[in-house]
Amino acid sequence: MVLYELFCITRPAVNATRTSAPVSAISVARNCGKTILDSKGVVVDIESMGLKELAKPIKKLNSKHNFGYWWTMSFYSSPTVQQELQRILRLEPTVLRYSLLKKSDKLNHLG
């Protein structure tokens, strides 16, 4: 198994504030986590960085976005899961940007 880190920016709700729950981010993270777990992977950490202003506006689906929910997910999985995650994130309309990084080659066995 390989350690990956997913960085994602999702579209906020129309009436979102800095303290409101990131409904779209939670939904995308749940779908990604389910895909990882279904393929016998392990989700290590999910971290929300909150609603932030983007450096420059992102256009997606004929809308311009100046803010987005930033979050990361660290997980162990096989390399084939990476392709499925990229497909899911590419097709998800609430995802503005994502990056999938390979952090280490092998799972270190404890014991």
As a whole number, mean pLDDT of residues 23-28 equals 88
What gap in Å lies between CA 23 and CA 69, rounded to an integer? 10
CA distance linking residue 68 with residue 90, whole number of Å: 16
Question: Which tokens is 111 given?
Answer: 């014991």
Mean pLDDT of the chain: 88
Q: How many helices (H) and strands (E) does the chain have?
A: 2, 4
pTM of the predicted model as reported, rounded to 2 decimal places: 0.84
**Rounded-to-integer distance, Cα 30 and Cα 28, Å:** 5
- Identify the band that residue 24 occupies on the pLDDT scale cut at 50, 70 and 90: confident
Q: How many CB atoms lie within 10 A of CB 105?
A: 8
**Which residue, 72, 71, 73, 74, is CA-closest to 1?**
74
Q: Tokens for 86, please give them.
A: 């990229």
* pLDDT at 111 > cutoff 80: no
Per CATH, the number for 2-104 is 3.30.70.60
Residue 61's pLDDT band, with cuts at 50, 70 and 90, is confident
Q: Write down the domain spans for the chain.
A: 2-104
